[in-house]
Amino acid sequence: MNCKEAGEMLMDLLDGQLDPPSRQSLLAHLAGCQGCAGEYAMLRRARRAMELLIAKEPPITTLTLPSEPARAAGGAAPVRRLWRPAAAAACLAAACAVAALLLVHEWTIPTAIGKDAPVEIRRTGVSLTILSRPPEWDRQGDMTVAQGRWKQMAGSGQSTHFAAWPGLALVRDQRVIRNIQRGQAEVRFADVPAGIWPDSVRLRCLDDDAPLKILEQNYQYDLASAAAVLAKHVGKGLTVLFKDGQSVSGTLLSFDGGTLVIQPTGQGPRNIARRELATVMFAELPQGLMSTPTLLWQLASPARRAQRQFEVAYLTTGLFWRADYVLRLHPQTQPGAAGPQTQPGAAGLQAPPEIIDRADLVGYATVVNNSGVTFQDAQLKLMAGDVNLLIRPYQQRYSVGPSGGSFPGDSQQSQMVEKSFFEYHLYTLTRPTTIADKETKQLEMVSGAGLAMRRGYVYDPTANPTAALVVSEMENTEANGLGKPLPKGVVRLYAPDPEGVQTYVAQTEIDHTPVKEKLRLPWGHAFDIACSWREVDAKHAGYDHHITAEYTIRNHKDRPVTVTVIVHLPAGTYQAQCKLPWHIREVGLIEVPVHIPAGAETKFTFIYKFNDLSGGGLRSPYEKQRSDKPLTQGVEQ
């Protein structure tokens, strides 16, 4: 084999298309001929270079294929027309109505269309600041739609507050606009969320020289959905195709969401249920419908620039975050591990040793994106704290669907940096992240290991008259391994069962908790502690009332416990008596720690005297429970 023959076969060798004997002889030649071997190396490098080019290929953004009716509608039109908004919408509308055919890898970067020149808009960066749920929405929580509906059915159904928190985020979207001509230009921004607050949009030109002037700003959100297209088509001609293959052409007289009334040419009107139809074909696309929510600007440019930098900032619903904590209890420690603390108790009883649990806490920020837009490589900031908001009715129009999605596991380490900001705390993700539409993302926010939690029992008759709550108390301090501001969120407790398997125990909610504050985590009711109370004596003299309540607590555990009994005092209380030591926790709220030996019962009475001078407006919180007992004698009803 000579070099000329070898040279002609090199490409086939590169493609792997040589038969084994030819390949053998060519390789033998290459082994002995430096020139040909060098040429082969160059070919391989060139192939590699082309592969690299393909690897750097950006995703397809706008490529669409027309569906059947587009041929009739736009067949004669010049090809370029496709890029006009109306025709682009036509394509999409037809696709909606007939069969969506999108040849799209990712709808990440939109193409905006200028009036004449091909104005291009590219997103260069985006930063998101997601606000936390304001307290007004707390009662609803992040209910799914199904939960909301259930609650609505269970309740009176009149409340309008059952909608889930729609989320709120500040989006700062940096974009580059190319080919803006001198003079006035119309620029369309697609790829904005449907929940955008149009009055919050601010467009800022980042160029120093010859900045653009904004003449007008519009937000167009009448989307070209199948129903919207039909509704706009009333009075115009269309052709419908039934599922059995028949078709009817005529004028659309009305459309109510389920039924089309069509008057075929020269015949009487016909009611046609939408479900009977396979396809609806329109003769033309009604004006004024957009394929996606779009911001439209009229800009005045003093000079032509190849490209201009912009920042668009706006508030949008559909993005929310919440804090979720996982508290993992260490395997059971023996009570008293922290050392016995002797306090003189009632009736000469020694205070039982405190129960100290050890646990690890991990806080996750759960970010949910229902905005309808994917934010690629976004700078993510999460704001914790109750921000005052004016929720206007029209801004709640866009409902937030149930969230679903994936929960990334441990691959994401703590990457949130916490900073104080105004009166709040801002958690910033140190790397860009992509928040796809309809995605739930979890990011680790805070963590602490080996936290000491004091376990206690609280008996509050107004919450549950027969059982005591298990409450863990934890200091949010650095000494305790934490010392980080904790945003409001749900805490889930996991504890190892006797086999050592982590088992879900309970969940509770915490409020925004600053550093050095005490976290109180109520978990549920203690199984082995039975409680009851009764009013043993009530004396009423005019506005003056003397109430004697008796509390009984039985400890069926095999170790002594301390139960803190909560006594609610009515307003106007001027005297309280109890044999046990007690202290005031808040106004009108008394705590009585009661020590109960294993398997024993403890009873005590609490006497309080109060004036009901306000005329019955303020009563004992026990009022409801003793309503069967007539309260007479001079008490104004």
Interacting residues toward other proteins by CB under 8 A: 7-8, 10-11, 15, 39, 42-58, 60-68, 71, 75, 79-80, 82-83, 101, 103, 105, 111, 118, 120, 122, 178, 306
Least spacing, CB of residue 52 vs other proteins, in Å: 6
Residue pair 384/132 in contact (Cβ under 8 Å)? The answer is: yes
Q: Which is nearer to other proteins, 56 or 161 (CB)?
A: 56
Name the phi and psi angles at 630, rounded to 5. -65, 130
How many Å apart are CA 310 and CA 121, to the nearest integer?
Answer: 10
Q: Which is nearer to other proteins, 103 or 153 (CB)?
A: 103
How many Å apart are CA 536 and CA 551, to the nearest integer?
Answer: 10
Contacts of 443 (CB under 8 A, 6+ apart): 364, 365, 367, 380, 412, 415, 416, 429, 433
Token duo for residue 108: 């990440």
Least spacing, CB of residue 434 vs other proteins, in Å: 17
Least spacing, CB of residue 447 vs other proteins, in Å: 37
Q: Which is nearer to other proteins, 62 or 220 (CB)?
A: 62
- Using DSSP's 3-state secondary structure scheme, residue 99 falls into coil
Count of CB atoms situated within 10 Å of the CB of 240: 22
Least spacing, CB of residue 139 vs other proteins, in Å: 48
Least spacing, CB of residue 54 vs other proteins, in Å: 6
Name the phi and psi angles at 147, rounded to 5. -60, -45
Least spacing, CB of residue 103 vs other proteins, in Å: 5
Residue pair 171/191 in contact (Cβ under 8 Å)? The answer is: no
Least spacing, CB of residue 140 vs other proteins, in Å: 43
Least spacing, CB of residue 470 vs other proteins, in Å: 57
Residue pair 561/555 in contact (Cβ under 8 Å)? The answer is: yes
Token duo for residue 176: 């580059």
Q: Which is nearer to other proteins, 113 or 367 (CB)?
A: 113
Closest CA to 362 of 499, 522, 506, 494: 494
Least spacing, CB of residue 98 vs other proteins, in Å: 12
Q: Which is nearer to other proteins, 70 or 378 (CB)?
A: 70
Count of CB atoms situated within 10 Å of the CB of 511: 14
Least spacing, CB of residue 125 vs other proteins, in Å: 13
What DSSP assignment string belongs to 191-220? Answer: ---TTB-GGG-EEEE--SSS--EEEEEEEE
Token duo for residue 479: 């000494």
How many Å apart are CA 350 and CA 561, to the nearest integer?
Answer: 11
Least spacing, CB of residue 430 vs other proteins, in Å: 24
Name the phi and psi angles at 391, rounded to 5. -90, 115
* One-letter amino acid of 308: R
Least spacing, CB of residue 414 vs other proteins, in Å: 32
Q: Which is nearer to other proteins, 86 or 163 (CB)?
A: 86
Closest CA to 384 of 361, 353, 363, 410: 363
Q: Which is nearer to other proteins, 55 or 479 (CB)?
A: 55
Least spacing, CB of residue 96 vs other proteins, in Å: 17
Q: Which is nearer to other proteins, 103 or 479 (CB)?
A: 103
Q: Rounded to whole angstroms, what are the CA distances from 174 to 115, 192, 591, 597?
A: 22, 13, 56, 67
Q: Which is nearer to other proteins, 110 or 485 (CB)?
A: 110
How many Å apart are CA 314 and CA 295, to the nearest integer?
Answer: 11
Least spacing, CB of residue 229 vs other proteins, in Å: 21
Which pairs with CB-CB distance under 8 Å and at least 24 residues apart come from 273-280?
276/242, 276/243, 277/240, 277/241, 277/242, 277/243, 278/241, 278/242, 278/243, 279/97, 279/98, 279/240, 279/241, 280/97, 280/98, 280/226, 280/230, 280/238, 280/239, 280/240, 280/241
Helices (H) and strands (E) in the chain, counts: 7, 29
Q: Which is nearer to other proteins, 15 or 410 (CB)?
A: 15
Closest CA to 488 of 504, 524, 512: 512
Q: Which is nearer to other proteins, 82 or 576 (CB)?
A: 82
Strands 270-273 and 375-384: unpaired
How many Å apart are CA 52 and CA 56, to the nearest integer?
Answer: 6
Q: Rounded to whole angstroms, what are the CA distances from 471 to 457, 586, 596?
A: 6, 18, 17
How many Å apart are CA 63 and CA 65, to the nearest integer?
Answer: 7
